[in-house]
Amino acid sequence: IDRGKLSKIVFTNQTLLKKLNEITHPEIIKVIKKEINLAKNKTYNQQKILIIDAALIYEAKMDRLMDKIIVVYINEDVQTKRLIKRNDLSKEEALQRIKSQMPIKEKIKMADYLIDNSSSLCKTKKQVEKIWQELVSLA
């Protein structure tokens, strides 16, 4: 699958994006459930902690599968610039992708932990380490 071509199609047509998500999300959720069951039956890193990295956890209702949710956030301007650079997108394409997701303010309200990714890598790492230590203590 040419992900670039597929993205250009679905992010300009909400009906097609919804259809794609209806096809892919059940399969993704199956894989995540399998990983969760594996994690429950064996130990990862000496702690029973499994990290799921997914942009659409709330939109796909995967939050029901998670014990804790960490939302990594950044202001929309920086997010747009990073998307343009990382994915070689136009500003319009980047904004379409951002707008296709639940607003970050809503995700922040529902999160158990927050990571502000708008500063330096060092500051972001410190936030991650603090959250990790808390999760380890709960495991």
**What pLDDT does 45 receive?**
52
pTM of the full structure: 0.82
33-57 pLDDT, tens digit per residue, is 998 888 777 755 565 788 899 989 9
- CATH class for the region spanning 3-138: alpha beta
In order, the DSSP letters of the chain are: --HHHHHHHHTT-HHHHHHHHHHHHHHHHHHHHHHHHHHHHS-BTTBB------TTTTTTTGGGG-S--EEEE--HHHHHHHHHHHHT--HHHHHHHHHTSPPHHHHHHH-SEEEE-SS-HHHHHHHHHHHHHHHHHH-
Q: What is the pLDDT of residue 46?
A: 60
